[in-house]
Amino acid sequence: SATGEKREHLYKVLVIGDLGVGKTSVIKRYVHQFFSQHYRATIGVDFALKVINWDADTLIRLQLWDIAGQERFGNMTRVYYKEAVGAFIVFDVTRVSTFEAVAKWKHDLDSKVQLANGNNIPVVLLANKCDQAKEGLVNNSAQMDEYCKDKGFIGWYETSAKENINIDESARFLVTSILAND
Ligand code: GDP
Ligand code: MG
């Protein structure tokens, strides 16, 4: 604005998906520009804060909730999901079981959290570890588009936390949708 005052938003964003798909790695890459082969499994929930100078008038604080895969569909997820305004669901392109779990995560989320207007929160699907694409599952992007439409994802990206592929892009896409809802 002309006065130099920025509008500030604090948004809670969930990062969910099965154990080992790369949730912690994606967050570390996004927030700290860092990758390691050796994260310990997240216990319960970790938090990270990403501050985004969105535009001249808008500052966004993204509070990222990194939820342990082993908490899957337990009663605790309702507590974790509370007041989230967006989410990433992550799977590992080298492990089909983690893709099969995506629909369950999406259903769990939609059944437990809604926006104030009653709509589902925007969710982006991340096909992570695409640097290992030779053994990857995602070889038909039209089919993925159809899957996302069917399951109510706003979109999907092939990502690599290791090689820093599409991490910023997917976050920008989700934040754009969150802002549009706000
Ligand atoms: P989480 O349980 O979902 O939080 O998964 P982690 O972030 O702990 O990652 C599990 C393992 O996958 C670790 O050894 C990571 O180094 C590895 N990993 C995560 N993301 C990628 C990626 O994009 N590419 C590759 N090759 N490995 C990854
Ligand atoms: Mg983790």
- Determine whether the shortest distance from the Cβ of 42 to ligand 1 is under 6 A: yes
SS3 128: strand
**For residue 63, is pLDDT > 70?**
yes
Predicted local confidence at residue 46, as pLDDT: 82
Q: How large is the angle between the packed helices 23-32 and 167-181, nearest 10 degrees?
A: 90
Structure tokens, 122: 């925007």
Question: How many Å lie between the centroid of ligand 1 and the Cα of residue 21?
Answer: 6
Instruction: Tell me the whole-structure pTM to 2 decimals.
Output: 0.93
Q: Is residue 165's pLDDT more than 70?
A: yes
Q: Identify the residue whose C-alpha is closest to ligand 1 atom 24.
A: 129
Instruction: Count CB-CB contacts under 10 A for residue 16.
Output: 28
What mean pLDDT is predicted for residues 117-121?
96
Q: How far is CA 151 from CA 4, 76, 102, 111, 125, in A?
A: 42, 23, 10, 13, 10
pLDDT of residue 173: 98
Question: Ligand 1: which of 16, 26, 37, 39 to mutate, most ligand atoms within 8 Å of CB?
Answer: 39
Flag whether pLDDT at 31 surpasses 70.
yes
Whether the predicted interface score ipTM is above 0.95: yes
In the Cβ-directed half-sphere of 100, how many Cα atoms lie within 13 Å?
Answer: 3
User: Is pLDDT above 60 for 136?
Assistant: no
